[in-house]
Amino acid sequence: MVAPLKLGIAGLGTVGAELVRLIEQQGRSLSTRCGRGVRVAAVTARSRAKKRGLDLNGVNWAKNPLALASDPGIDCFVELMGGSGDPALSAIEAALKSGKSVVTANKALIAKHGLRLANLAESHGGALNFEAAVGAAIPVVKTLREGLAGTDVNRVYGILNGTCNYILSRMEQEGLSFAECLKDAQRLGYAEANPSFDVDGHDTAQKLAILASLAFGTKVAQSAVYVEGISSIAPEDLRAAEQLGYRVKLLGVAVRTAKGIEQRVHPTMVPKSSSIAQVMGVTNAVTIDGEGLMPITLVGPGAGGAATASAVLADIADVARGIRAKPFGRPVAKLRAIQKAPMERHEGGYYIRLMARDLAGTAAAIATRLAEQRISIESIVQRHANGVDATAANGKPSPVPVILITYATSEDAVYRALHAVQRDKVISGRPQVIRIEKN
């Protein structure tokens, strides 16, 4: 009879508590699937007195995460506290140095210190598993690291933040403003009281940095990710996208180019016929383009206690089975320093919305500036509010929305042309620019 895998769980919040329940519910089936039992031997949390609805009789309480990680009575340290530094970092380091395996859902820690921790895991023989750090229940880490080990990946992209996808979905379906949808997301618990980490794209950037390392065999480099959030998106952009056959999503995109690995997070127009465009609400999705394969899209809940706990438990099951995969799919020494592709050299189609002054020569001036940068226009739409000419309070014509869709061009060319248009004073305000991602 093989001894059960003894777990030490640091953090009994939503995910930690759900994990304890899952292990209790699935004890027999886990033992059958893994060839050995899985048992919670010790825990630690900020408050021992807090009511969690858990039966922790017979479970040891450690005084702090570091003490738990160093406990010789556990085989696997499960970190569910969060944060990119201590106490999570020092506790994980202690567990790995003592030869224990580690399972974590901590994307911030992996994005910042993943290579350092992976090196410790390799040196001391333990596993470092972090499936739940990216996409929760979506098994994208295992897919890239193991399922596609024999495939050269060219591009990985997806919806990696449920808060942003919920807001954009509501804006599109109900014609609401960003501010209105954000307020509702906060009321429903989909967005934090301070939502900037989500809506400004930083959560997605951390997850993308991890995926890029797995996909391309490069060192994790969150600083190499271009980041842009969704707060500038207006209902009129979503209406225009719908009429043009697109849908707006906040995407994280990592792609191999001749200039290096492009890593970018920004609002993106995707064809409505694409798999990623069908993903609405708080759901997440990741698409992988591999050499010689049709694109593979994984869709599922990207957050929440049950979804995250299920991914954590899958990683624990691998530890119980004795699986010791390289954390990033390759030995740390074989991971290459990332060659960052400059965002200015990104090439693709663009959606551009201008508020053009209703003056003679405006259209010609815009066309001239685009032509100077060799930008070709696929389509152009000009419309007045409600289909009629609008007049400002001073009696002068109001600016007219002009929407341009370009053929593939460079980021640098687009912004040079728009800066010139602004200098010509034929538009009001700042142009809205949204990149287009083809299938």
Is-contact 41 6, C-beta < 8 A?
yes
Rounded Cα distance, 196 and 161, in Å: 12
> Residues 87, 114, 9, CA angle at the centre, nearest 5°?
45
Q: List Cα–Cα distances, 313 to 5, 128, 129, 152, 204, in angstroms.
A: 12, 13, 10, 29, 23
Look up residue 63 and give its DSSP letter: S
Helix axes 88-97, 107-124, angle to 10 degrees: 20
**Three-state SS for 222?**
helix
- 157 forms bridges with which residues in the sheet? 253, 287
Task: Give the bridge partners for 347, in sequence order.
Answer: 410
Letter for the amino acid at 138? I
Backbone φ, ψ for residue 393 (5° rounding): -60, -30
Strand partners, 425: none
Indicate which residue of 100, 107, 142, 207 is catalytic: 207
> Tokens at residue 45, please?
């949390």
Residues 43 and 28: beta-carbon distance below 8 Å: no
CB distance 46 to 339 below 8 Å: no
Q: Tell me which residue of 130, 126, 83 sits closest to 104, measured CA to CA.
A: 130
221: left (phi over 0), alpha (psi -120 to 50) or beta: beta
- Extract the tokens encoding 307: 């979804």
Are 5 and 298 in contact by the 8 Å Cβ rule? The answer is: no
Question: Residue 207 catalytic?
Answer: yes
Q: What angle do CA 51, 52, 58 make, to 5 degrees?
A: 100
Q: Are 108 and 83 in contact (CB under 8 A)?
A: yes
Q: Which residues are catalytic?
A: 207
